[in-house]
Chains A and B, each alone.
Chain A
Amino acid sequence: MSCSVTVSGDPHPGGSEEGRPLGRRAFLGIVGVGISSLWWGGRALDLVSQATRIAPESVRSAIPFGQGWRIYSVSPPYPRFDPATWRLRIDGLVAAPQELTYAQLGRLPRAEQVSDFRCVTGWSVDNVHWTGVRFADLLAAARPLPAAKALTFVSAEVPYVDTLTLPQAMASDAMLAYRMDGSPLTRAHGAPARLVMPRMYGYKGVKWVQRIVVTDRVLDGYWEQRGYDRDAWIGHSNGL
């Protein structure tokens, strides 16, 4: 007896159209599992990427499988950093506006931390080693005025900006970083200095910072003008 089954109602029995519609079931199954993974896939990929830790770091950083950097930018090309001409301006509501060279930035009290980086789109990088300067130390010489409430970080990548309230910027794990994982920041990661705010999503981490403006109110950053939450707390904002 043949195993081939002609499903009743099939207008084309016989020939090479015989057999059970296993392919259709597989198709629907894969699509169904795939769509359900929109809710569990992020966590699953996180678990899988834990297992890829046995791979060498060079491989893992080249192929982001769950864990790994993806370079986001909004307006090409990436800004170029020239140590001779680069200046970090600190102005706005301050008693003494500052202009720091790269060398001067490096001479400020140095802070180190290991923290996780999470992007709002779902990827993350754990245990990033950052070296930089805390905002209390960075702003000390400029002396913010009593009316100061917030900071605007202006990127050399026009028109990217983002903001933090002063209390947010004073968090113990917020910093302006100029080294990452033991080396100076690379161009793609925002050389020479970027904002690091580990408890908020990565779009707060302005790269290629060239100016910090002290303001009397919080302004919308680049992505906030496009509907993202201003307080980008991980797990408590942007619908996540």
Chain B
Amino acid sequence: MTAMPGSVTPTVSDARRVARFGRTERTLHWVHASAFFAMLATGLVLYLPVLAQVVSNRPLMKAMHLVAATAWLTALLLVAVLGNRRALGRTRRQLERFDADDLRWLRGAHVPQGRFNAGQKAHAVVQAALAVLFVVSGSLLWLGERNTTLRLPGTIALHDVAMYVAVVLVTGHIYMAFAERTRPSLEGMLHGTVPAAYAAEHHAKWTPDAPAPAPAPPPPGAGRTTARGGLRGALRVALAAAIVAAGLAGATLLVRDVFAADGNAPPPAPAVVAPG
């Protein structure tokens, strides 16, 4: 058994993998990630004068920003409706609870951690709060353009500061995903599993499920859906379709609104009265 310097010792047991993230959790993560970067890119063009001069098409950037926001919220709702809500709920409870070891870990002690270490928990909690604040401040920015009573003195400050905090957190998050020691965790978010050795080293208090070798075998009688199960499934699909329709309608309205507001209506003809 030879250890390669700087890497996890390759052993036979390394071939063993454990399930870390289910499909619903991974979908939720990548929905967040892609929406974040789409909105960051378009938002920075709206925000930084240097970029605004390079891409001087503000209405287009604004429309893309708003469409990305709508797509993001639509996708979140779809994940909630179509995904594995029980797994999501379990992950949420694991993320929001800090035990004594977590508090010691945050103070720098190397103590065994559960499925999520305290840093991952804190990151997820702050990101979730930022998501809410982005939605609130972003909606108020949009509404304030249309109704002056909804224009509050700190809306833009909140949206800006949330952006700065999120960029710092995401930078650290991406660094951890690629740093040598913690890189295997990225596999968990890409494929769902991590090496058992990695889990044992970094998440000693976690007892992971073994990964399902194949899609779970259908329970007996699953081929013949019960009337209640079929009804529930149909309701889910109908709800999902309604969410997609609402998202599309919302995005269309936002885009139309942005471009109509900047359309080519002629300037109001100034009243020119003949002298005399």
Contact = CB atoms under 8 A, between A and B. Distances in A.
B148 A23 contact: no
B96 A24 contact: yes
A39 B153 contact: yes
B151 A120 contact: yes
A64 B99 contact: no
Interface residues of A, number: 79
B151 to A, nearest CB: 6
Contacts of B268: 152, 161, 219-220, 225
A131 B114 CA distance: 64
B146 A27 contact: no
Interface in A37-80: 37-45, 61-66, 68-78
Interface stretch (A106-114, A132-140, A170-178, A210-218): A210-218
A122 B47 CA distance: 13
Interface stretch (B11-19, B233-241, B259-267): B259-267
B222 interface: no
Contacts of B57: 76-77
A72 B49 CA distance: 9
Contact of A27 (B96, B144, B261, B273): B96
Interface in B253-276: 261-268, 270-273, 275
Contact of A26 (B58, B126, B133): B126
B9 interface: no
B242 interface: no
Nearest to A222: B267
A236 B268 CA distance: 26
B267 A158 contact: yes
Interface in B72-116: 90, 93-100, 102-103, 114-116
Contacts of A26: 122, 125-126, 129
B115 A23 contact: no
Nearest to B124: A23
Contacts of B114: 16
Nearest to B205: A16
A15 B116 CA distance: 12
Interface in B140-176: 140-141, 144-158, 160-162, 164
B65 to A, nearest CB: 14
B251 interface: no
A228 interface: yes
Interface string A219-239: 110000111110000000011
B132 interface: yes
A22 B151 contact: no
A95 B264 CA distance: 31
Nearest to B55: A76
Given A23-B95, A39-B152, A74 B275 contact: no
Those 4 A-B pairs whose CB atoms lie nearest each other, nearest first? A41-B154, A23-B96, A19-B99, A3-B100
22 contacts: A3-B99, A27-B96, A31-B133, A37-B161, A38-B136, A39-B152, A61-B49, A63-B48, A68-B49, A69-B49, A70-B52, A71-B52, A72-B58, A73-B58, A75-B262, A76-B60, A95-B275, A145-B275, A147-B273, A188-B53, A227-B148, A238-B148
